[in-house]
Every structure is written in C-alpha cells, then in structure tokens.
Structure 1
Amino acid sequence: MFDKLKQGWTSFIALLTPGENSAGWCRGILTGMGFLIILILLVGMYWSNEPAHFDVRLNAQEKLTGSGLDTVPGAITTSALIRVAETLLDKPGGYLTNDVMPPGLYLDNIPNWEYGALVQVRDLSRSFREDFSRSQSQSTEDPDLIIAEPNFNFNSDSWLFPPTESEYREAIERVDSYLLRISDPANVDAQFFARADNLASWLLNVESRLGSLSQRLSASVGQARINTDIAGESAAVQSTPSSVEVEVRTPWLEI
C-alpha cells in the first residue's frame, strides 16, 4: 500500500513539474477552469429565477397558527411585509446585491428585483412606523418599528462590518414581534389602525413610485418633451431655470 501511495505522489509531482508533462498540466488547468465556468453559469441561471408569488391570507394564517393567535386587522399586511423581506434573504442564492464573488457579482436581473422589492419594504415599513401603528400624529411610535424602519434603510450593498443581511434580519425580527403583539388580545399597547387616511398616505407614495417607473419605461426611446414641471400654477417657481423643451431618455441598461 505504501508503494502505491508513493507511486501516486510521484506521478502528481511529475504532472506539476515543467517539462514533458507541461502540456498535460496546462490541459488539466484549462479543463478545471472550464468546468468551474460552466458550474458558475449554471448556478447563476438557477439563482436568476424570480421567487414565486404567495397567497397573503394563507401566509398570515401560517404565521399565526403556531402562536395560537387569530388573524386581526393588520395581520395580513404585516405578514406580507415579513414574507417579502424574508424572501430577499432566503431565496436561492440568498441576498445577492452585496455579493463580491461570482455568480452573484455578475448577475443583473435578480439584484434589480431585490432593489425593487426592498424599496417597497422600506416604504411600507415607514408607513407602519409613521401611520398604521399610531392613532394620531402626536401619539408615540411603536418601539419595534422604531428599530425596524431604519434597519430596512441600511446600506443595501454592504458586504461586511456589518453585512446588510444582519441588519435586515434584525428588522424582520422586530416586525415579527410587532405582528405577535397586535395579534395578542391581552396586549393593548401595540395597534394597527386600519383607517382611510393611513391607507391614502401609503397609496400616495406608491402612486409616486409607479409614476416615476412609468416615465422611465416610456422613455426607453429618446423623446423630446415640452417642460411642464411648473405648468398650471402661475406662482410656482423652481430653484434653477430649465429649457422649454427637454430630451428624455432612459439608458438601455436601466430598463
């Protein structure tokens, strides 16, 4: 057995030694690199699959079943917020926006999907903190949402010290705590106020986001437009003057 090990070690050293075996050594390196590239491409294709949709009502029931709590007003929305944030971190490949190694480094579609989902998570968590959890503007903020909202707004591409995932994970835990508290009949300190003005405030923000996205998509081909930034308001002014006609175009890589 010792002779076989010695023979195998001698063959390995000979393969790495320049000379008559240099061609085989180069072929081995190129073959290994080829397999590595193919593996990275296949993993990248798998990671690029967009996460599946989910039923928001069923998701809320699953969240609360283990705790023995019923679905109360606000539980479905809160559970949906938690599920989307968890999907950012737990989907195949995990959170890719801050990756510094392939295949996450070169992927484009899923990091853009992550950013879009993250923007919605940030907007909704801000509405939770400022509107849905408060009875009026002078009421105190919820202690869990005070921490969750800024954590969701942490730098989205921090790889280390601290990593983005740890900040978002803590935010999810805080929102999950808020969900359990509003669902507990014995806890009257945490509330979700399903009022029309609270919903209107969040929808106005969504409307603004969608309006910006619509304009960027429609400008995929360059267009000359009349500047209507302050149209319809005789007393309106802007900080710096702009042309009457503007050229609007969204870069191809940003579509």
Structure 2
Amino acid sequence: MTSRRLRAARRREQLEKPQYGWIWKPLLVLLIAALVVMAGLGIWWNMTPRAFDVEAATEQQRGSLVLDKRGAVSVATLKQLLDTLQDKPGGYLRDDILPPGLVMDNMPSWEWGVLRQSQVMSHSLATLDPQGAPSIESLDAVMRGNADNWLISSTGKQLKTARGQVNDYLQAFSESGSGAFEASGKGMADWLAAARTELTPVTERLSASVGDADMLRELGIEVPESADVAWYRVDNDLHQARGQAWALLHLMEAMLRDQRDVITAAGMLQQWQRVQAELQRTQRHLWSPVVLRGSGFGVFANYPLTMAHHLTRIDESLVELEAGLAAAPDMPQDQAGGKQSTEAAQPQPGSSGGEGQQLDSEQHSTPEATGAGGESTEPEEESTGAGKESTGAEKESTGDEGEPAETSSEQHS
C-alpha cells in the first residue's frame, strides 16, 4: 500500500516537474558547430588579398572605353582598390556588427590602411588633373566620410558611391580634350607628400612599441603622446601599416606606368623603384598567427620593429622623391593630352640618356653663338677631328632620329 502511494507520488512529481536534462546536448552541438563555422570564416576572411597587375586592372576597367591618356592606369588602379575592399571574402568588415566580423581586428585594420591611401589618392586627383571632371570633388567628399559608420550611412554604401564616382571620372579619359594628368612632377610630389603624412603616425607608433616610452625619452628619443599604444593594439598598427603599404605599392606602380617619362627626366627612376622594392618587403608572409614582439637577439622575431625599419626607409626615400620631382622642370603637354612614349624616356643603348643627347644637340647647333660671344673656340683642325671621331657614336645614339652625324660634322667644319 505504501509503495503504491510512493510510486503514484513520484509519477505526479515527474509530470508536474519534468526533467529536461537531454536538451543541453543538441544545444551544445549547435554552439560548437557555430564556433567552428565562425572560426573558419574568420580565418578565410582574414586572408590578405593578393597583389594585382595594374595593367590587367586597367584592361578590366577599360571595357569599351579608350583609355590611352596619361593617368588612366592610376585611376583604374584606384577603382580596383575600392573594388577589392568590397569584393574580397567577407566584404568590408570594419563596419560589421555581427560575428565573426565583429570580433576581428586584423583585417579591419588592414582595410583602414587601404582606405586611407585611397582617400589620399582621390584627394590628390584635383592636383594631378586640375582640368579634371567635376566628379573629382564629389568623389573626394564621399571618400572623406567616417570609415566606421554602419547605421545611417554605412561605409559599404559610401564605397559603392565612390566606385561610381571613379567610374564616371574614368569615362572622361575616353572623351576628347578631357581627363588627363598634367605632364608635371609637382602633382606627384604633392601626392607623395600626402601619402608619407599618412604613414608617419603609424611608423611612430610601431617604433615606440619596441620599448618603454619613458625609457626612450630618457635616452633622448622624442616619442609623441599619440605613439603610446597599448601592447594589445600593436597588431592593429602593424596590419594598418601593411594595408597602407599594399595600396601605395599598387598606386606607385600605376603612377610609374603613367608618368615614367616625367620620373625619368627628373632623374628619380631608381629612387622610385627603390621605394617600390621597400614596399614589397612589407608584404612578406607572416609566419606566426600572432604578432611576435621579441627582444634583442632572442628566439622570437619582432614584427613591429621590422615593419618600423621598412617604413623609416620608405619615409626617407619619399622625402628625396618629393624634392626631386618638385624641383624638376615642367614637361610640355602632349598634343592629345595622352601619355608620352615610355620608350622615348628611356636611354637608348650606346648613349648616355636623353639629357646627354639634348646637350650634344645644343652644343652642335650653337657654334655661331659661341663664336659671337668673342671667346675663342678649339682650333679648326681639332674640332674637325673630334667631329669625325664622334660620327659613329652619334649614329648609334641617335639612330634614325635627328640629323645625320655627317651633316653635323660638316656644319662644325
């Protein structure tokens, strides 16, 4: 009798207070599956996009347009950078409010670096092309928006608008008499100065992260207050620097394709290529999943120190480029506003470069002016002999261009 009552009481208790101990198992499985998916997406989305060929990007953006003017490659490369920010795996992650983009920081920092250099380039278009289309001003206004907006006007929407503005400006390169960079180094000098200004703060923060800021000040090394960054945010600065260097590498390659004759005439070609090589070194693969900060000659490397070293060398080279391009004389505009031939800017075999040929032609074309000055020139026989000896060299250096070497020697004789 008692046992029956106990069994009945237990049944009533089970019905009134059921046990749900089995529910936590599927919930745990779902949680683990979600974590695995988010981790996989985080690894995939965190992969840096590969470098692209600026000429191939120009062909891709070209379509039915005729892009043979000076500056077309640079504008097409700018559009490709904006396309990369949106079309890469995960899209633009900096304004995400859901995981895994919400908890990621390396790729958003890289995006911020690419966006900063893209903003610099879009702002410098007005200097590079003073006669450009009105879309330059609207493009600059769109690109200057807050990169962290996600509610009212998200950065993703701003990037879409900016892509449309760049495309409109790129179409101007197919119209006659519009859309072409000036054949002058001053516009490039201003652009390089602005790009270097963006790199300077991140270089200071990476340099200051190597040691204690107070200790550096005691050693006489000035460290700005803005360079004092917490240790857990140093990786953000590293990836931001990599993003800026990645974008600047492509933009400098594109500008070299557009303005090679100007750069060569200013004598800055080797310096330009030196900056490109240093930017390329900043894109080497990171072999550690975390940013290592070793000390001295320890076992582990120091990634911030290495990056700061490269950025410092880049800064020094950019200063020399700015000075060289700003001091270079303006070159005449092309008749059609297009690019000048890059082969003409390069020195021919057997000659000392375009500048040497120009000096030789001036010396041969002004013998009367020299004589009119009242100064005595070389004896006639020596002058005639020198002209005969230089006939072969002038043939090799001038080719089919200019006057024959025999004619020049006859004029001297």
Interval containing the TM-score (normalised by the shorter chain): 0.7 to 0.9
Distance in structure 1 (CA, Å) of the matches to 2:122 and 2:177: 21
Distance in structure 1 (CA, Å) of the matches to 2:227 and 2:85: 32
Shift of 1:193: 1.9
Q: Deviation digits for residues 48-72 of structure 1, max 9, x if unmatched?
A: 00111001122112211x2141432
- Gap change, CA 1:146 and 1:205, over 3 Å in 2: same
Equivalent residue letter for 1:77: S
- Gap change, CA 1:170 and 1:194, over 3 Å in 2: farther
**1:222 and 2:212 aligned:** yes
Q: Is the 8 A contact 1:56 1:76 kept in 2?
A: yes
> Residue in 2 aligned with 1:23?
21
> Residue in 2 aligned with 1:61?
59
Shift of 1:215: 1.8
> Residue in 2 aligned with 1:235?
none
Distance in structure 1 (CA, Å) of the matches to 2:154 and 2:203: 32
Distance in structure 2 (CA, Å) of the matches to 1:132 and 1:98: 31
Gap regions ≥5 residues in structure 2 = 1-15, 235-413
Distance in structure 2 (CA, Å) of the matches to 1:132 and 1:248: 32
Distance in structure 1 (CA, Å) of the matches to 2:73 and 2:150: 32
Shift of 1:142: 2.9
Aligned partner (choices 124, 129, 132) of residue 133 of structure 1: 129
> Residue in 1 aligned with 2:233?
254
- Gap change, CA 1:159 and 1:76, over 3 Å in 2: same
Equivalent residue letter for 1:132: L
Distance in structure 2 (CA, Å) of the matches to 1:49 and 1:85: 17
**1:106 and 2:89 aligned:** no
Count of matched residue positions in the alignment of Structure 1 and Structure 2:
214
Distance in structure 1 (CA, Å) of the matches to 2:110 and 2:53: 19
**1:46 and 2:37 aligned:** no
- Gap change, CA 1:76 and 1:190, over 3 Å in 2: closer
Equivalent residue letter for 1:88: L
Structure with more of its chain in helix, by fraction: 2
Distance in structure 1 (CA, Å) of the matches to 2:123 and 2:50: 25
Shift of 1:18: 7.4
- Gap change, CA 1:18 and 1:43, over 3 Å in 2: farther
- Gap change, CA 1:118 and 1:19, over 3 Å in 2: same
Identical-pair percentage: 28
Equivalent residue letter for 1:85: L
After superposition, where does 1:93-242 map in structure 2 within 5 Å? 93-129=90-126, 131-134=127-130, 142-182=133-173, 184=174, 186-220=175-209, 221-223=211-213, 224-225=216-217, 226=220
Equivalent residue letter for 2:117: Q
Equivalent residue letter for 2:206: L
Q: Is the 8 A contact 2:201 2:227 kept in 1?
A: no
Equivalent residue letter for 2:230: P
- Gap change, CA 1:195 and 1:50, over 3 Å in 2: same
Shift of 1:227: 7.0
Secondary structure of the residue aligned to 2:101 is: coil
- TM-score of the two chains, using structure 2 as the length reference: 0.48
Secondary structure of the residue aligned to 1:53 is: coil
Secondary structure of the residue aligned to 1:23 is: coil
After superposition, where does 1:77-88 map in structure 2 within 5 Å? 77-88=74-85
Report the RMSD for the aligned CA atoms in angstroms: 2.4
> Residue in 1 aligned with 2:71?
74
Shift of 1:113: 0.2
Shift of 1:107: 0.3
> Residue in 2 aligned with 1:232?
none
Shift of 1:201: 0.4
Distance in structure 2 (CA, Å) of the matches to 1:39 and 1:80: 34
